[in-house]
Amino acid sequence: MTERVEQILANYAGEPPGVIGNLRRMLMHGALGGTGKLVILPVDQGFEHGPARSFAPNPDGYDPFYHPSLAVEAGCNAYAAPLGFIEAIAHRHAGSLPLILKLNNSDTLGAPPEPCSALTGAVRDALRLGCSAIGFTIYPGSGLRNEMYGQLRDLVAEAREAGLPTVVWSYPRGGKLSKEAETAVDVVAYAAQIACQLGAHMVKVKPPTALVAQDAARKHYEKIPTGTLAERVRHVVQSAFAGRRIVIFSGGEAKGRDEVLAEVRAIAEGGGFGSIVGRNAFQRPRAEAVALLREIIGIYRG
């Protein structure tokens, strides 16, 4: 245990010991253990985008055992995936690598009128598989957001009783939001606040752009510094209960190494708690992926 990790956990006073213990497990694991920073490998893209789009760039990724072994070799804090991938590997990795079971997912085969993921796992599955947390996606702005909020409320309560923290993917989408508005600084900050209000112990959002999308919010951003990504990250973290909740930022679509690292440096400068890096890691050849993840970890280590 380290002073920094205990400072973070003090923000969760009142949570059951199991929840705090599992947060501590993730914060103390891997190459960033004890620093208060996290780098997590998520692999839900096979469900979300399809196998070829996700794994053809690096065919080793079709094998569910590839991803947790990559997380271990690189020194990640945890590995997140849907039920099928976790079930396939839990007997080998539960207890040695913190696992996050993603409890809802969606596909790209249909064209639903509003974004809403299906429940694809349960808290009892996370317990059975030795997971350290559950994960859940909400789409603030969607016409079906209230359904997702209700599901999340119930899952947070059930997981809390079982001693599991909840990681919330908070991705504004649908309704009247344009594609550009989904990552606007005011919208991303709002999404982080919503996730915290719904009981998230850890929030995952996308890096915000400088756009302010809500007319009603625009005047309030005149005095909030948002010119750089570091400033925008700082505001999003502030919006998550004044930094009292862990906020990590997604890596997004595959991009070049220099672009990935520049983004991570800005997140670190802005006080972000870390990154959750999927396609930018597992779509690269293994040696290149390990090297990139270790460079990211190095940035967060300072």
Residue whose structure tokens are 């501590």: 24
Alpha helices in 75-182 (DSSP H): 83-93, 123-128, 145-161
Q: Which residues contact 234 (CB under 8 A, 6 or more apart)?
A: 225, 270, 271
Residue 114 is predicted with a pLDDT of 96
pTM check: above 0.95: yes
- CA 274 to CA 277: how far, in whole Å? 10
Contact partners, residue 219, CB within 8 Å, separation at least 6: none
**Catalytic sites, residue numbers:** 204
Domain boundaries, the chain: 3-301
pLDDT of 110 reads 86
User: Residue 163's pLDDT is what?
Assistant: 98
Q: What's the pLDDT tens digit per position in 13-59?
A: 999 999 999 999 999 999 999 999 999 999 999 999 999 999 999 99
45, two tokens: 């893209």
- The DSSP string of 83-102 is HHHHHHHHHHHTTTS-EEEE
Question: What confidence score (pLDDT) does residue 252 get?
Answer: 81
Are 274 and 251 in contact, with CB atoms under 8 Å apart? Answer: no
Q: For 3-301, which CATH superfamily applies?
A: Aldolase class I (3.20.20.70)
Q: In which residue ranges of the chain is pLDDT below 50?
A: none
pLDDT of residue 121: 98
Contact 84, 51 (CB under 8 A): no
